[in-house]
Structure 1
Amino acid sequence: MNTPEAAGEPRPAGEPGPGDGALGDWPPHVLEENGALLLARLRRHFERLRETPVRVPSTPVRVRTLLDGEPPAEPEDFETVLADTFRHVVPHLVQWNHPGFHAYLPNSSSGPGILAETLAAALNPNAMLWHTSPAASALEETVLRWLAGLAGYPPDAEAVLLSGASSATFTALAAARDALPGLDIRERGLAGRADLPVLRVYTSDQAHSSVDKAAIALGAGLANVVRLPTDSSYRLRPGVLDAALRADRAGGMLPLAVVATLGTTAVGALDPVPRLAEVCARHGVWLHVDAAYGGLWRATDTPRDVLPAIDAADSVVVNPHKTLFTPMHASALYCRRRGALAGAFRLVPEILRTDDAGGPTDFMDRSLELGRGFRALKIWWLIRCFGTRGIAARMERLLGLAEELRRRVLAAPGWELTADAVLPVVCLRHLPPGVGRQETDAFNARLLDRVNAIGDVFLSHAVLRDGYTLRVAFGNLHSRAEDVDQVWWRLRGAAAGEF
């Protein structure tokens, strides 16, 4: 047979071998053509974003009916798949990347991040070892140093990019547990040991549920998550923490860690980290700061002077995907106790042993994750394409939009702010005349349902000390002054019974 192999010659690049047929990937020109179709669809999506509902009413039965079915035996045309996606899938997603999305803590993706995710997916590197993708590891080091500078944390701290604040808090508390002297939990575990004291984790009554999940996974248990009462601004009180640590030590319990929060989910409260760090230092207790939402606002001028410094914390998490317009997932965990993360997680099977010289960073040593995607690329592109000043200006705009809504609430009869915040989370409610708390709570719950049923804005709620509250958070890159007008119009109209 007259083939390149028969003649001892290599096959020309791109030429199929015997039996290959159509069993490979799309040819590069087809990838380009279909990529152009997708980008054209995305262009139309963003051009019509303000005409697109943030959320449409749907039921599980309806959505499952649209999407359930048997897998096709034969290949389908990409244009058909794309059309079905925008016909049946996209309308039934909540549009988080929409200027009318004000629920929870909004996140937003940007053009540089979107395209970086495409390139990262195409190249598909695994950044577990320096050896497996040197540039990915080196870029992660650079990006982590840049983010540390924006957040005000020591740039030489041990650090790693993770999927989110929940995994980061778990990782930090695992390092804190394994750093406790004399317990040897990494080797001996927890089960069947009568020599171990009860381990306790301390946090505020406003802290994220990821603290509880970490305690479950680490074997401390929910009963040993001590949620301490906060002050009138929903901040963890150093004196209360000090008393709790003293009482537990006197009772034979062992503090594992304290978790402070910079930007609580409900109201955006800022725990006084430097004062809490002083308490932790006196007691010799690890301080972790969940700054997933609040940590990177230090990049702006407006709240920098009032944001508590975080550099004294033993570990800190900040989330570029919450505030830096980076597609999910991208969360940065820092630990100023050098070697603590690796001390908890480093485990190298023979197949992964290398002889790399020069002290390279193997990021797999710093968390549970072995296989690791190229998260650094989208952050690198975004910071380079917008610049730190450009990013700060965009964040400043969001702060200004929230402040404008606060001014309107304060000026409107029958409305009140239920919490004060530096960050762009506005907590408010309507006060119907002549009714008590229970009726006020029920009215505002109905108001929220009315607003969200319309579909052009989407809000969430919290229950604070004095009752049910509505939350309007600004975090979308596309938000403008007209979005304040829109949400305020919807709130007032729903309260007046117009919708």
Structure 2
Amino acid sequence: MPEEPGDWAPAVFEEHGRHLLAVLREHFESIRQVPVTVPRDTGDLSASLRAELPEHGVDFERVLADTRELVVPYLVHWNHPSFHGYFSNSASFPGILAETMTAALNVNAMLWKSGPAASALERVVLGWVAEMAGYPAEADAVLVNGASLATLYALAAARDAALGPSVRVEGLAGRDLPVLRLYTSDQAHSSVDKAAITLGFGLANLVKVPTDERYRMRPEALEAAIRDDLAAGFKPVAVVATAGTTSVGAADPIPAIAGVCERTGVWLHVDAAFGGFWRLAPSLADHVEDVSRADSLVVNPHKCLYIPMEATALHCRRRGALADTFRLVAEYLTSAQDEHTVDYMNLTPQLGRSFRALKLWWVIRTFGRAGLARRLEHSVELANWLREAVTAEPLWHCPVDSIYPLVCLRFEPDAGREARDRLNAEIVEELNASGEAFVSHTVLDDGYVIRVSIGNIHTTRADVERLWRALREIAARRFSLPRAA
């Protein structure tokens, strides 16, 4: 059989790998000259990439060149020091190399016997994650690809724990069951709504508990809602509390909420996808919420620990609950077990699983707890600097605060709310279109705000200063003010 372009000898693989690493080195060395994003007409972008299925292989150099020319310039560069949208995550260099190693080994970590060291390593890093998040180390735990699915899996286990084992056999339809209820704040992530849809609760039975002036769930309102539902004959199943809400970085009062759940016999799931690791930062160690009493917990190493995407940890203090929901072992998947083994396929619906543990192991070992803490503290310091700078500017305001490095700010000239909201939206649109930085937004009770998330491992004080200068210059130009100093 003739050799095809993709049939590389190991030496050719190494040669191409060196070339790729050189390209990536150049990318990072000049990253501040790279636009965070370049707007392009959607039809034009689609047309530039549209092509017939290739009949014959293409040389790798051509593929790499096309990637650099047609794809990379029109991405949003989440790994850019001036990317501050959504939750600013970043992939560190050890994590990037670990991802390469993982792809090369291509291990399927579904069973202990399908990848013994992968499963053993997953247990190790999940223990480290629990320790860093302040959660019981003996809890069941598993790595999944994102917090949305982790919440779905946790609520599936909560549902089955509330209804008993018959739900696995008989399901939900056509049975004489009470109305099942979920509870979360009106600031919770949309993944909770999606879980309510997927698991058969329905959005009508997802109770949105009101929040206080700092956008935190009100425990007394939660308890009243649960007790009202109990009196009405409904079945409260689970509460989802949040440590680091998406809109404003609010932290629900989790110990008080845990007390409500314990008194009413309701499962508590804590979404700490963003907030779960900031307790490592010395200045926040005494201020973050205690998550240890949650029945289940999700944290995202890929949000805060400089690990490439799709590295989320789901922990469950109710031992066996996840397996009670998801364990289903076909004959071809049976294997010998002892006290050391764990088959991670039993803790979620997913069978084929990538070797996610390796990138956590590499990054955590490379930086160490102290190194991660220093970098997290640096992000906190940058966010505090920006808040102070905004507060010192007469026409700018931070309408809500957060202990986390998520800064919500707004330009507030003498204008009505509609005009003010429109102006702030235009500021975001112009800034993002410029490629100089990227931010996102949310809408609070009193209007539109600009969200600045700080967490990229490469971000410096100069990057944040440049962002602040750009925001003021755009606002001044649009509102005919003197140019920002």
TM-score normalized by the length of structure 1: 0.94
Q: Which string of whole-angstrom CA distances, capped at 9 and with x for unpartnered residues, describes residues 160-212 of structure 1? A: 0000000000000000011014572121111111x111111100010000001
Q: Which string of whole-angstrom CA distances, capped at 9 and with x for unpartnered residues, describes residues 437-467 of structure 1? A: 1221111111211211211101111100111
Runs of at least 5 residues in structure 2 that lack an aligned partner in the other structure: none
Q: Do 1:399 and 1:423's aligned partners in 2 also have CA atoms closer than 8 Å?
A: yes
Asked if 1:83 corresponds to 2:54, the answer is no
Q: Which string of whole-angstrom CA distances, capped at 9 and with x for unpartnered residues, describes residues 220-263 of structure 1? A: 01111111110011100110000000111111111110000000
Distance in 1 of aligned mates of 2:86 and 2:121: 31
Asked if 1:74 corresponds to 2:56, the answer is yes
Counterpart among 429, 433, 446 of residue 466 in structure 1: 446
Q: Do 2:5 and 2:57's aligned partners in 1 also have CA atoms closer than 8 Å?
A: no
Task: Give SS of 2:290's match.
Answer: coil
Distance in 1 of aligned mates of 2:454 and 2:97: 24
Distance in 2 of aligned mates of 1:237 and 1:55: 39
Distance in 2 of aligned mates of 1:118 and 1:21: 25
Q: Relative to 1, partners in 2 of residues 1:128 and 1:20: Cα closer, same or farther, differing over 3 Å? A: farther
Runs of at least 5 residues in structure 1 that lack an aligned partner in the other structure: 1-18
Asked if 1:477 corresponds to 2:423, the answer is no
**How far did 1:21 drift?**
5.1
Q: Relative to 1, partners in 2 of residues 1:91 and 1:22: Cα closer, same or farther, differing over 3 Å? A: closer
Structure-2 residue corresponding to 1:242: 223
Asked if 1:401 corresponds to 2:390, the answer is no
Asked if 1:170 corresponds to 2:145, the answer is no
Counterpart among 380, 397, 406 of residue 425 in structure 1: 406
Q: Which string of whole-angstrom CA distances, capped at 9 and with x for unpartnered residues, describes residues 34-88 of structure 1? A: 1011000000000110000001111221111111111322222111110110111
Task: Give SS of 2:189's match.
Answer: coil
Q: Do 2:6 and 2:57's aligned partners in 1 also have CA atoms closer than 8 Å?
A: no
Structure-2 residue corresponding to 1:218: 199
Q: Which moved more, 1:399-408 or 1:351-360?
A: 351-360
1:294-333 alignment runs, 5 A limit? 294-333=275-314
Distance in 2 of aligned mates of 1:444 and 1:28: 54
Distance in 1 of aligned mates of 2:138 and 2:211: 33
Distance in 2 of aligned mates of 1:99 and 1:489: 16
Asked if 1:114 corresponds to 2:96, the answer is yes
Q: Do 1:296 and 1:323's aligned partners in 2 also have CA atoms closer than 8 Å?
A: yes
Q: Do 1:183 and 1:196's aligned partners in 2 also have CA atoms closer than 8 Å?
A: no
1:227-376 alignment runs, 5 A limit? 227-376=208-357
Q: Which moved more, 1:182-191 or 1:435-444?
A: 182-191
Distance in 2 of aligned mates of 1:359 and 1:43: 41
Structure-2 residue corresponding to 1:52: 34
Distance in 2 of aligned mates of 1:379 and 1:86: 28
Q: Do 1:264 and 1:270's aligned partners in 2 also have CA atoms closer than 8 Å?
A: yes
Structure-2 residue corresponding to 1:5: none
Q: Percent identity?
A: 56
AA in 2 matched with 1:474: I
Distance in 2 of aligned mates of 1:176 and 1:395: 33
Counterpart among 21, 33, 46 of residue 64 in structure 1: 46
Structure-1 residue corresponding to 2:184: 203
Distance in 1 of aligned mates of 2:381 and 2:106: 39
Q: Relative to 1, partners in 2 of residues 1:198 and 1:38: Cα closer, same or farther, differing over 3 Å? A: same
Q: Relative to 1, partners in 2 of residues 1:23 and 1:89: Cα closer, same or farther, differing over 3 Å? A: closer
Q: How many residues align?
A: 479
**How far did 1:105 drift?**
0.7
Distance in 2 of aligned mates of 1:459 and 1:354: 49
1:20-35 alignment runs, 5 A limit? 22=4, 25-35=7-17
Asked if 1:456 corresponds to 2:436, the answer is yes
**How far did 1:332 drift?**
0.2
Q: Which string of whole-angstrom CA distances, capped at 9 and with x for unpartnered residues, describes residues 410-463 of structure 1? A: 001111101111000100101112x22122111111121121121110111110
Distance in 2 of aligned mates of 1:403 and 1:36: 40
Q: Relative to 1, partners in 2 of residues 1:465 and 1:357: Cα closer, same or farther, differing over 3 Å? A: same
AA in 1 matched with 2:418: Q
Structure-2 residue corresponding to 1:6: none
Distance in 2 of aligned mates of 1:210 and 1:133: 31
Q: Relative to 1, partners in 2 of residues 1:470 and 1:120: Cα closer, same or farther, differing over 3 Å? A: same
Task: Give SS of 2:48's match.
Answer: helix
Task: Give SS of 1:453's match.
Answer: helix
TM-score normalized by the length of structure 2: 0.97
Distance in 2 of aligned mates of 1:154 and 1:113: 26
Task: Give SS of 2:306's match.
Answer: coil
Q: Do 1:37 and 1:79's aligned partners in 2 also have CA atoms closer than 8 Å?
A: no
Distance in 1 of aligned mates of 2:5 and 2:58: 15
Structure-1 residue corresponding to 2:365: 384
AA in 1 matched with 2:90: S
Structure-2 residue corresponding to 1:11: none
Task: Give SS of 2:183's match.
Answer: strand
**How far did 1:20 drift?**
7.2
Task: Give SS of 2:84's match.
Answer: coil
Distance in 2 of aligned mates of 1:268 and 1:380: 28
Structure-1 residue corresponding to 2:475: 495
Distance in 1 of aligned mates of 2:132 and 2:69: 41
Task: Give SS of 2:408's match.
Answer: strand
Runs of 4+ in 1 over 6 A off after TM superposition: none
Distance in 1 of aligned mates of 2:416 and 2:45: 40
Structure-2 residue corresponding to 1:10: none
Q: Do 1:157 and 1:336's aligned partners in 2 also have CA atoms closer than 8 Å?
A: yes
Distance in 2 of aligned mates of 1:387 and 1:416: 37
Q: Which string of whole-angstrom CA distances, capped at 9 and with x for unpartnered residues, describes residues 471-498 of structure 1? A: 1110111000111111111110011117
